[in-house]
Amino acid sequence: MSIVRVHNFSISLDGFGTGEGQSRDAHFGHAGDRLHEWMFATRWWSADGNAGVDDAFVQRHDPGIGAEIMGAGKFGHPGWEDEPDWKGAWGANPPFHTPVYVLTRHTRPSIEMEGGTTFHFLDASPAEALAVAREAAGGSDVRIGGGAKIIRAFLAEGLIDHMHVAVVPILLGRGVRLWDGLEGLERTYRIESTASPSGVTHITFARTGA
Amino acid sequence: MSIVRVHNFSISLDGFGTGEGQSRDAHFGHAGDRLHEWMFATRWWSADGNAGVDDAFVQRHDPGIGAEIMGAGKFGHPGWEDEPDWKGAWGANPPFHTPVYVLTRHTRPSIEMEGGTTFHFLDASPAEALAVAREAAGGSDVRIGGGAKIIRAFLAEGLIDHMHVAVVPILLGRGVRLWDGLEGLERTYRIESTASPSGVTHITFARTGA
């Protein structure tokens, strides 16, 4: 059965998934690349990268995924809605390779990219967007790509089956928090922690069906 | 040389060291015992407890410590200042066995307990309190006992050399946060994460001397 998954979502020790001051040149604001260096160091990212537990986790990003849902802030910098030719922050061949549904109040025509990614723009609730993405995924799983606000919204509505969060040992102090308003989340998930030699702690949430 | 240490300080995945609604019957508010169950399950706590990595961490609480500094909220429930006979939330034989300096605006005469604990009451800044506790410790280390606000205040002033935080996989949603206002803390500490089979992740901070 098609499930809903989150992968490789990186937060600081103090819970921020994005820093402050996001812009075209700073996709994660003052966090810079610091939340994702562990990922860039894996074999998944480059041929001479490490092949340990960080790589084992990141490798699960793509298999079995038929569509992604992301927030407007993952698609582009604040203000992209006013740039009619903007095609997203992910280059000509984005790393999604499926239909991607961008949640935004400012919808525009779909954009077909290289490598199988097509961006669609939806003004919809989490549940409505999921119904559309599920249909497009044709029996495969749907990935919720982030940012923090989007994941939080899907968690709050009980729509996520599997989640992988990577906690990076830095303190950002400000930005967008992942965990706000999710009291008691542990009651419906089996939570497991795996520390990596890289310093990152991988936390997985597997829905228990309660 | 005498150093300043934090041990066994437990927080939820969303960073709360104490829940909301602290009272005489609920020392940690709505968190109840949930932040400390991992500790109660160790051999340190009871003879038939586990002897694995959780126990290895908790065992370091006492050796080499000559004094503790704690906040008013660790000493007792909100309002204890108005109860002249109140002797703290820690029983007749508190688990400190050294002088303990309680930071409060409402000072009172020192209280000698069984087992070597004496509570002293200080209206002082972190640096001032540390000077007093260091003197009392006579060359041994000083433990900063918490709660979250006190640890945060000592961290903000660069007064902590070694810190052990236990992250418990629950989401409290509300309470007192440990990490607020500590952006960049990782620059002066070597941070290490150790996942335990109990589900807790132990995070240690060792000052690098920068």
Average pLDDT, rounded, for chain A:
96
Tell me the pLDDT band of B187, cut-offs 50, 70 and 90: very high
Q: What are chain A's domains? A: 4-79+91-207 (3.40.430.10)
Mutation site for A-interface testing, chosen from B12, B53, B193, B205 by largest number of A Cβ within 10 Å: B193
Q: CA-nearest residue of chain A to B186?
A: A170
pLDDT at position B1:
83
SS3 A169: coil
Task: List the single residue in A with minimal CA-CA distance to B172.
Answer: A183
Q: Which pLDDT tens digit goes with each residue over A21-41?
A: 999 999 999 999 999 999 999
Instruction: Report the pLDDT averaged over residues B110-125.
Output: 98
- Would you say B189 and B208 are in contact if contact means Cβ atoms under 8 Å apart? yes
Using left for φ > 0, alpha for ψ between -120 and 50, and beta otherwise, residue B130 falls in alpha
DSSP A181: T
Is A170–B193 a contact, with Cβ atoms under 8 angstroms apart?
no
A32 close to B (CB below 8 A): no
Q: Is the pLDDT of residue A141 over 70?
A: yes
Question: For B161-182, how does the pLDDT look when each residue is reduced to its tens digit (9 = 90+)?
Answer: 999 999 999 999 999 999 999 9
Site of tokens 């169950």: B37
How far apart are the CA of A35 and the nearest CA of chain B, in angstroms? Answer: 13
Q: For A51-63, what is the mean pLDDT?
A: 97
Residues of A in contact with B184 (CB under 8 A): 171, 173
Do the chains contact at A179 and B171, CB–CB below 8 Å? yes
Is the CB of residue B199 less than 8 Å away from at least one CB of chain A?
A: yes
Residue A170 C-alpha, separation from nearest chain B C-alpha, in angstroms: 5
Give the distance from residue B11's alpha carbon to the nearest chain A alpha carbon, in angstroms: 11
Confirm if A54 and A38 have CB atoms less than 8 A apart.
yes
Using the Cβ of B14 and the Cβ atoms of chain A, whether some distance falls under 8 Å is answered with yes
pLDDT given at position A1: 83
Instruction: Give, in order, the Cα–Cα distances in Å from B109 to each of A138, B30, B73, B176.
Output: 73, 31, 18, 28
* B115 CB within 8 Å of a chain A CB: no
Residue A193: which residues within 8 A CB-CB, separation 6 or more? Answer: A201, A202, A203, B167, B169, B195, B196, B199, B200, B201
pLDDT tens digits for range A185-201 = 999 999 999 999 999 99
Is B192 at the interface with chain A, CB within 8 A? yes
Task: Give the three-state DSSP class for B137.
Answer: helix
- Measured between CA atoms, how close is B114 to chain A, in angstroms? 39
Q: How far apart are CA B112 and CA B42, in angstroms?
A: 29
Give the pLDDT score at A209: 66
> Chain B residue closest to A201 (CA)?
B193
Condensed to tens digits (0 to 9), the pLDDT of residues A60-119 reads 999 999 999 999 999 999 999 999 999 999 999 999 999 999 999 999 999 999 999 999
The shortest CB-CB distance from A171 to any of B182, B194, B201 is to B182
> B201: which chain A residues are within 8 Å (Cβ-Cβ)?
193, 195, 201
pLDDT tens, position by position, B43-102: 999 999 999 999 999 999 999 999 999 999 999 999 999 999 999 999 999 999 999 999
A160 near B CB under 8 A: no
Indicate the helix (H) or strand (E) that contains A155. helix A148-156
Give the ipTM of the model, two decimals please. Answer: 0.91
